[in-house]
Amino acid sequence: MTNPTNNSFRTAVESGEFLITAEVAPPKGGNAAHMVKMAQTLKDRVHAINITDGSRAVMRMSSWAASVILHQQGIEPICQVACRDRNRIALQADLMGINALGIGNILALTGDPVKAGDHPDAKSVFDLESVRLLQLITKLNQGVDFNDKPLTDQATDLFTGAAVDPQLKSWSGLQSRFERKLEAGAQFFQSQLICDFDRLEKFMVQIAAGTNKPILAGIFLLKSAKNAKFINKKVPGVNIPDEIIDRLAAADNQLQEGIKIAAEQVKLARQLCQGVHMMAVRREDLIPQILDLAGISPLQKSSPVNDLVFK
């Protein structure tokens, strides 16, 4: 197989569309039916679907294999690649394989710490981190390996993004990290879960303005107050404020209240940045309802982008 073609997510980015992506976890086992079912519910609603790579250091099917499964279903994936579990040899091997299998989009991540997950005694690798992974992918796209040796069987063609956390406590650290990722080759950014939209606006105005790279705000469906507390405890770097938890706890139907909160956040994000990245763990089928409440119409069936994503 040759380099990826018909990269509709890249086309949407380059044409300046308001971008919608969603996150789906690979299966924990050999049956991908639930993942495929959840992804298919997002048909005509998102430009691409992120496949996580050991999110929270919890063991699941490899992100590249799950991405290939979705690609075979005519659904465009963004394959997340984390540095935690592989050294630079394995990362390059996987990236070349991903490219050869027709996957065009990569989200380059450092990876959550092993102790946060379900195999806390596993050995971490972290041979690289996200900035150097971006640099590595840029080199592969230029036809050389990490050591600047030529790729004898063609350069890769990978469209690469990075994570950003506008709510990071250190403003100077946030700016430095963002600029280094830009310089390393990031073409788009997906944010961590956003609760502080004043902070997001400040980031967009003071740091991201003028970069011409889309920022997609992370919007998370909170299913209940208990769910929100669990995320605060288990997901590194996340701090859901008490007022949201209290609002969920006071609701007669906490799931429906979570859907309303997520829709409100989509509306806020639409005023500030170029897209949203939707997260609704194991309830991805509710994302269309959130988008409807937020006034986000389905992608036009007649558009070339949509025809390429869901043929």
Q: State the pLDDT confidence band at 178, using cuts at 50, 70 and 90.
A: very high
Q: 158: closest CA among 111, 107, 109?
A: 107
pLDDT 10s digits, 245-298: 999 999 999 999 999 999 999 999 999 999 999 999 989 999 999 999 999 999
The tokens for 216 are 């997609």
pTM of the model: 0.92
Q: State the pLDDT confidence band at 6, using cuts at 50, 70 and 90.
A: low
Percentage of residues in the chain having pLDDT higher than 70: 94
The tokens for 256 are 């429906």
User: Cα separation of 30 and 7, whole Å?
Assistant: 27
User: Cα separation of 252 and 177, whole Å?
Assistant: 42
Q: State the pLDDT confidence band at 308, using cuts at 50, 70 and 90.
A: very low
Q: How far is CA 262 from the centre of its chain?
A: 17
Cα–Cα separations (whole angstroms), residue 82 to 74, 79, 143, 163, 232: 24, 10, 22, 11, 22
Domains and CATH numbers, the chain: 6-292 (3.20.20.220)
Maximum alpha-carbon separation in the chain: 62
Q: What is the mean pLDDT of residues 87-96?
A: 98
Q: Which residues contact 31 (CB under 8 A, 6 or more apart)?
A: none
pLDDT 10s digits, 200-226: 999 999 999 999 999 999 999 999 999
Angle between helices 88-100 and 63-72 (to 10 degrees): 0
pLDDT score, position 7:
78
N residues, the chain: 311
The three-state (H, E, C) secondary structure of 3-43, written as one string: CCCCCHHHHHHHCCCCEEEEEECCCCCCCCHHHHHHHHCCC
> Around Cβ 267, how many Cβ atoms within 10 Å?
14
pLDDT score, position 233:
87
**Is 50 exceeded by the pLDDT of residue 305?**
no
Do 49 and 78 meet the contact criterion of CB atoms below 8 Å apart?
A: yes
pLDDT 10s digits, 46-64: 999 999 999 989 999 999 9
pLDDT 10s digits, 226-260: 999 999 987 767 889 999 999 999 999 999 999 99
